[in-house]
Amino acid sequence: MTALAIETAGLTKRFGKQLAVDGVDLAVPQGSVFGFLGPNGSGKTTTIRMLLGLASATAGDIRVLGQEMPRRLATVLPGVGALIEGPGFYPFLSGAANLRRLDAADGFSPSASRAARVDHALERVGLTHAAGKKVRAYSLGMKQRLGIANALLAPRNLIVLDEPTNGLDPQGTREVRHLIRSLASEGTTVFVSSHLLAEIEQMCTHAAVMSGGRLVAQGTLDELRLAGQTRARVLVPAADAERASRILSDLGLPIDSASPRENAAAPAEGEAVLLAALPPEVAPEGVVAALVTGGVRVRGFAVQQASLEDLFVALTGEGFDVVQ
């Protein structure tokens, strides 16, 4: 079995009569980049706060880096770096001065190597040029990167990041994505809470989806995509659309009412696109053969594997551009 950096069993949190987190069983493999997804109010941040000992659980068990939490809090936290709910810094101090103060507050960090640690952390997030600039002059993206630098001041076995690319321009987003991948390649587990599904798909190896306080799916990205619905996309002359729909229905492939994806080629004038759910037991070539035999002039056929966005919408009933 794969060793787990984070493991929960029946994790539950109530605020009075409100059930914010409901029996969550998380399994985050060591060395993974794990995306934690969910719409606003789904319980993501509350779950993270319980993992880090910032909030107490109403029920359930938590193990972080193999240790029981929060009982082993003092043992676990030195190996964990975190950026939760946005960075907070002294605006009148420089970025480097802020990091030096934060590092000094860590009783496990030797003062003799503090300057080297701060310089290295700033270099890793691309802020060496702004080390002496006051934080009040930083952009939102620069503050976000400074928060990540704080999480990297000491060697970490686990990094927890809440919306790490918030406020970043495309170049900054690419840099953070590269940084997260490099951390994982060094053996660090990175737990990323985000609403940006495109970013999760590009940087993560595993993901979990929260909805209404419950964990509704988790696994590798490939496993999650396979859990979604595969579709056949058929391009035919508009005059053949009705006949094609009838043949697909006879094959047990009812027409899907969902519209074609935005990045799919739009049909030309006089053409129609039909989307139909494609069960695993139905061979695509058999569908094409049935259409041609039935007199349908097939101009295009493609199999569309469900994306993470498709699965997210199916599981939560919400669009992907939501903020935690």
Residue matched to tokens 């609403």: 195
Pair (95, 203) in one structural domain? yes
Pair (284, 165) in one structural domain? no
Distance CA 76, CA 291 (A): 61
The share of the chain scoring above pLDDT 70, in percent, equals 90
Residue in 205, 162, 204, 184 with CA at minimum distance from that of residue 49: 162
The CATH number linked to 66 is: 3.40.50.300
Per-residue pLDDT reduced to its tens digit, 125-138: 889 999 999 999 99
Pair (250, 238) in one structural domain? yes
Looking at the structure of the chain, the number of domains it has is: 2
Last residue of a domain, one of 205, 226, 247: 226
Pair (215, 236) in one structural domain? no
Say if 104 falls within a structural domain.
yes
Say if 316 falls within a structural domain.
no
Say if 318 falls within a structural domain.
no
Pair (58, 172) in one structural domain? yes
Could you give the dihedral angle defined by the CA atoms of residues 225, 214, 323 and 79, in that order, rounded to the nearest 10 degrees?
Answer: -90
DSSP states along 84-147: -SS----TTSBHHHHHHHHHHT-TTS-GGGHHHHHHHHHHHTT-GGGTTSBGGGS-HHHHHHHH
What's the order of all strands across the beta sheet hosting 158-162? Answer: 80-83, 158-162, 189-193, 33-37, 206-211, 214-220
Pair (82, 119) in one structural domain? yes
0.85 cut: is pTM over it? no
State the residue range of the domain holding 263. 229-305
**In this structure, what DSSP letter does residue 194 have?**
-
Pair (133, 208) in one structural domain? yes
State yes or no: pLDDT of 320 exceeds 50: no
Pair (196, 295) in one structural domain? no
DSSP E strands in 226-270: the ranges are: 231-237
Per-residue pLDDT reduced to its tens digit, 72-126: 999 999 999 998 876 789 999 999 999 999 999 887 788 899 999 999 999 988 8
Q: Quick one: pLDDT band at residue 68, thresholds 50, 70, 90?
A: very high
Residue in 168, 207, 9 with CA at minimum distance from that of residue 177: 168
The helix or strand, by DSSP H or E, that contains position 286, with its residue range, turns out to be helix 284-293
Per-residue pLDDT reduced to its tens digit, 144-163: 889 989 999 988 999 999 88
State yes or no: pLDDT of 322 exceeds 80: no
Pair (247, 213) in one structural domain? no
Pair (239, 213) in one structural domain? no
